[in-house]
Amino acid sequence: MLLELHQVCGGYGSGDVVKDVSCHADGGDVLCLVGPNGRGKTTLFRLILGSLSLSSGSIRIDGRDSKQLTPREMANLVAYIPQYHRPIFAYSVLDIVMMGRASHFSSFETPKAADREAAFAALEKVNALHLADWKYTALSGGQRQLILIARAICQSARVFVMDEPAANLDYANHQLLMEVVKELAGKGYCIVMSTHSPEHPFSVGSKALLMKEGRVAGFGSPRQIITPESLEEVYGMEMDVVTIGDRYGVKRTICLPVKAPGDIRSVYAAKEREQWEV
């Protein structure tokens, strides 16, 4: 198993934000973290990446306790792909990808021909070879995500942690990125990504982890976990999960917020009254 979390708790000074989370994912898996914002997804990522230490529980990466891994070993197993990325200086795409090689040569060295070779190979894997000599700052959000994925490949990590990869992308780029994520899983990488859209796991995920207030509200295959009941519990609104066939006959599952018919204002007014009376 590439990634195993066992009763993980952790947070910042004032107390645990992530409480008792257990889950696992292997090569070929796309594990989607679903839940409202500010509910421990980012904290869980920090715990996995080791930038925040666990207060209890354990994380095993490729069978090894993550506490025993040096930063360098960690980098060769787990890569982080940040959400929105705007470097201050106009690095070339190749420069950015090559930063993934930092854990592969000593501090005294600069990248060698072999590192450049690895960077080109990684760019090729995400079909972005043509961007190699572009300025990274001139790329679109979607292209930047691709380049960061190439950097993660170049890092030779096998677990990719992606923080809301779709958040800042337009619709088409979003779809494209999801295709790339699927392809990477097909090549044996283990992808852990957070998302605020509950239907994401159906299209790309092989596993879903539903989080509510830092705790696991469900972990398993998307079909088991993402149900109208669980979504209402987590998001506090009524939702339908429906499966339809698209024009090519492929089954697609989508989540729809629903509301009982009636004047929306009267619903709000009733809610407000309720609050006042309490």
Partner 1 sequence: MGKMGEGFRAYKAHMEAVRQRHYGMLMWGMAGALLAVTILSFGIGYYPLSPGQVISAFLSRFGYQGEILPQAVTVFWSIRLPRILSAVFIGASLAAAGATYQGMFRNPLVSPDILGVSSGAGLGAAFAILYGASNWGIQLAAFAGGVSAVAASYVISRKSTHSHTLSLVLTGSMIMSLCNAGITMIKYVADPNDVLQQITFWLMGSLTKTDMNAFGFSFLPMLAGLSVLLIFRWRINLLTLEEEEAKSLGINVRRYRLMFIGASTLLSAAAVCLGGLIGWVGLMIPHMARALVGADYGRLIPASAMLGAGYLVLMDDIARSLLSMELPIGVVTSILGAPFFIYLIVKRKER
Tell me which residues touch partner 1 (CB under 8 A).
46, 49-51, 71-72, 74-76, 78-80, 82, 85, 87-92, 94-95, 99-100, 102-103, 107-111, 116-117, 120-121, 124, 129-130, 132-133, 155, 161
Tokens of 186: 């097909």
Say if CB 194 and CB 45 are below 8 A apart: yes
CB of 25 to partner 1, least distance (A): 18
Three-class DSSP category at 37: coil
Nearer to partner 1, 61 or 216 (CB): 61
Nearer to partner 1, 130 or 252 (CB): 130
Handedness of CA 80, 77, 58, 20 (dihedral sign): positive
Nearer to partner 1, 77 or 181 (CB): 77
Nearer to partner 1, 83 or 253 (CB): 83
CB of 186 to partner 1, least distance (A): 15
Burial zone of 82 (CB within 10 Å; 0-12 exposed, 13-18 middle, 19+ buried): middle
- φ/ψ bin of 232: left (φ > 0), alpha (ψ from -120 to 50), beta (otherwise): alpha
| Calpha distance 17→6 (Å, rounded) | 16
CB of 10 to partner 1, least distance (A): 15
Nearer to partner 1, 133 or 263 (CB): 133
Nearer to partner 1, 89 or 171 (CB): 89
CB of 273 to partner 1, least distance (A): 41
Distance of alpha carbon 148 from its chain centroid, rounded?
Answer: 13
CB of 189 to partner 1, least distance (A): 15
CB of 82 to partner 1, least distance (A): 5
- Matching residue, tokens 């982080």: 80
Say if CB 232 and CB 177 are below 8 A apart: no
Tokens of 46: 């920090």
